[in-house]
Amino acid sequence: MKYIKIGCVFLLTYTFTAGYLFDVPALPILNETVRALYLHVPMWFTMIFLLLLSSYHSYMFVSKGEELHESKSYNYAHVGVYFGILGLLTGMFWAKYTWGTYWTNDPKLNGSAIGLLIYFGYFILRSSIEDESKKGKISSVYNVFAFSMLIPLIFILPRLTDSLHPGNGGNPGFNVYDMNSQLRLVFYPAVTGFIFLGLWISDLRLKVLKLK
């Protein structure tokens, strides 16, 4: 955990300085907004990573039955949803300046919004059960089940339809970025840094939960 914290501070400091100062390729329409890549995309990576951890712990809880796994899975889902909301917000501001609107009918946007709905459903389910032992088991079962439907929603369905979103429907995505080592220089540290930040926040929240 100690190394994660040190790495997080180091990597995020680097992201926020280098991300604003380094040169970026001048692409039509995108222009300087390509820097949103450093903030927007890592949010989704972190969200998926945390939700994956959450469903892993849910599965461990239903199969092993240790309380710790349950509180961990709830916690990761919670922090993951925060990152998801931030990802939507950063994406919306980026969309305002490149597509000209905050929200369009785009499979990727809809998929992620529905993904958040799934997890709101999980929180509602978890809070609507009174019985402590039942609560963990039922909500964990739903968590695992829902995560399996989140993956096609975010990763598979948008790739099958036309989309404005970079990386889908013939729009340039990582293939173009791959050619540009300038962006990768900041992008990968940013992803790692935000994932570390997510782990750090979840660790703190878990400690608070334990104290309660």
Q: What does the binding site for other proteins look like in residue numbers (CB under 8 A)? A: 62-63, 114-115, 117-118, 121, 124-125, 128-130, 133-134, 137-138, 141-142, 144-146, 148-149, 152-153, 156-157, 160-161
Q: Is 119:88 a contact under the CB 8 Å cutoff? A: no
Cβ-based nearer residue to other proteins, 18 or 85: 85
Cβ at position 121, least distance to other proteins in Å = 5
Cβ-based nearer residue to other proteins, 102 or 145: 145
Cβ at position 33, least distance to other proteins in Å = 29
Cβ-based nearer residue to other proteins, 15 or 58: 58
Cβ at position 143, least distance to other proteins in Å = 10
Q: Is 98:106 a contact under the CB 8 Å cutoff? A: no
Cβ at position 67, least distance to other proteins in Å = 15
Cβ-based nearer residue to other proteins, 54 or 192: 54
Cβ at position 109, least distance to other proteins in Å = 13
Cβ-based nearer residue to other proteins, 36 or 146: 146
Q: What is the rounded distance in angstroms from the CA atom of residue 127 to the CA atom of residue 1?
A: 30
Q: Is 195:36 a contact under the CB 8 Å cutoff? A: no
- Residue recorded with tokens 């039922």: 138
The answer for 65, left when phi > 0, alpha when psi is -120 to 50, beta otherwise, is left
